[in-house]
Amino acid sequence: MSGHRLLQGKVVIATHNQGKLREMRELMAPYGVDLVSAGELGLPEPEENGHMFSENAAIKAVASAQASGLPAIADDSGLCIDALDGAPGLFSANWAGPGKNFVPALARVQAELAKRGATTSDKRRGHFVSALVIAWPDGHQELFEGRVYGEIIHEPRGPSGFGYDPIFKPDGRAKTFGEMSSDEKHGVPDDGSEALSHRARAFQLLAAACLRLPQ
């Protein structure tokens, strides 16, 4: 625990994204932390001009911590596709446009892969990245990262999740993230084994360092 701080009391989830907020609330539920979102507090969304997921997560966490006077957790995540030289990557949300409509974003992924001749599974590899940053009002920060690798399938499958979930099939699984329940996708196993989703893997590291289950 040396160097880490425990999260207690009220904590801001620095997001206006309802899908991320829902997943973070589910992950944090066992720890008895009082959560409020940046959107619920009416906090502005800062410009994300970092060059890495961790930098953008820190920008959001610091902005919410400074504006609220509370510890804040921010996630920056995205889908990196090998055949597209890592795109959409940091711009995963941008591909969905200002209205965050991922239907055209999913279509764009398929169109870009088709341009590269990426028709077989070995040419449609990709991974999700999640960087979780906790920022305290006094400037202290902690970073936790998770990744999950898999295949970009040809047609979207499943109504669950959000973003690019319907076209991402993680290695070793028959279902896409869009076909999985919340527990399947990011439930943290009770036996201490690794979680499945990128956000849950990052959260496992955060929880081990900065959270304690209520006595």
Annotate 164-210 with three-state secondary structure. Answer: CHHHEEECCCCCCHHHCCHHHHHCCCCCCCCCCCHHHHHHHHHHHHH
Domain ranges of the chain: 10-210
Structure tokens belonging to residue 141? 């920060």
Helices 198-210, 18-28: crossing angle, 10 deg rounding: 40
Burial class of residue 105, CB neighbours in 10 A (0-12, 13-18, 19+): buried
DSSP state of 139: S
* pLDDT score of 18: 84
Contact 187, 200 (CB under 8 A): yes
pLDDT at 206: 96
| CATH hierarchy code of domain 10-210 | 3.90.950.10
pTM of the predicted model over 0.85: yes
Report the catalytic residues.
Answer: 76
pLDDT on residue 2: 47
CB 85 within 8 A of CB 146: no
pLDDT at 1: 37
Query: What is the residue-level pLDDT of the chain in tens, covering all 215 positions?
Result: 347 999 989 999 999 888 888 888 988 999 989 999 999 999 999 999 999 999 999 999 999 999 999 999 999 999 999 999 999 999 999 999 988 899 999 999 999 999 999 999 999 999 999 999 999 999 999 999 999 999 999 999 999 888 999 999 999 999 999 999 988 998 778 787 899 999 999 999 999 999 998 87
